Amino acid sequence: MNLKNDWKRILEKEFQESYFLNLMTFVNQEYKTKKCYPPKDLIFEAFNQCSFEEVKVVIIGQDPYHGFGQAHGLCFSVNDGVKMPPSLVNIFKELEKDLKIPIAISGNLERWAKQGVLLLNSILTVEEGNAGGHQNQGWEQFTDAVIDLIAQQKSSVVFLLWGNYAHQKGKKIDRKRHLVLEAGHPSPLSANRGLWFGNQHFSKTNIYLKENHLTTIDW
């Protein structure tokens, strides 16, 4: 699994489930016969960049970017030097509006992950040029299990759910135990309909973390 921290122990039982073994067979075959993203050694990079113990915030995406050189295992994030996709541009625009933080030069969000932000796609792999091509193969069940583990074993975590897909993924989260913030998806279609801008999720996250005696995120 190429996991380098406490997630390896926490997810050990999940890795032994029959659905997950079938999923890995599918993924291995896809990577052997097609161009897929992210690079195989970065499929679980969101977990390596943010250990279970360190998780304070969870952002849920759908599936990885399906263009060359974009996906590197963290939802919404792209590698340094890669042109920012429209959704990521809108995330930075809201961040600027909310906390007066200038729009970043790089779309690489590893700096967030290293502060305890789990950047989790619901589906961790994709075929080049085929958005959603790896749906319904088992990734959704796996990431549901990850969300459940966080929700049940930790407290005072902020879940940022952007768009209807993420809203569905977060339905079972205990709203008394955690802070769940919902908004439209940052994609231009949703943002231009007034469902994204002005949500103030970044400042609301830090207010909640501070109230619960946790270190805030330097967005």
Q: Tell me which residues are annotated as active site.
A: 63
Tokens of 139: 């990734």
CB-neighbour burial class of residue 140 (10 A; exposed 0-12, middle 13-18, buried 19+)? middle
* Phi, psi at 58, each rounded to 5°: -125, 125
Dihedral sign of CA atoms 152, 21, 19, 33 in order: positive
Grouping H, G, I as helix, E, B as strand and the rest as coil, residue 180 is: strand
* C-beta neighbour count of 82 within 10 angstroms: 19
Q: Is 127 helix (H, G, I), strand (E, B) or coil?
A: strand
Q: 86-99 and 201-211 are packed helices; what angle lies between their axes, rounded to 10 degrees?
A: 60
Residue 69 in contact with residue 79, Cβ under 8 Å? yes
- Asked if residues 49 and 111 have their Cβ atoms less than 8 Å apart, the reply is no
Cβ within 8 Å of residue 117, ≥6 positions away: 50, 56, 57, 58, 59, 109, 217
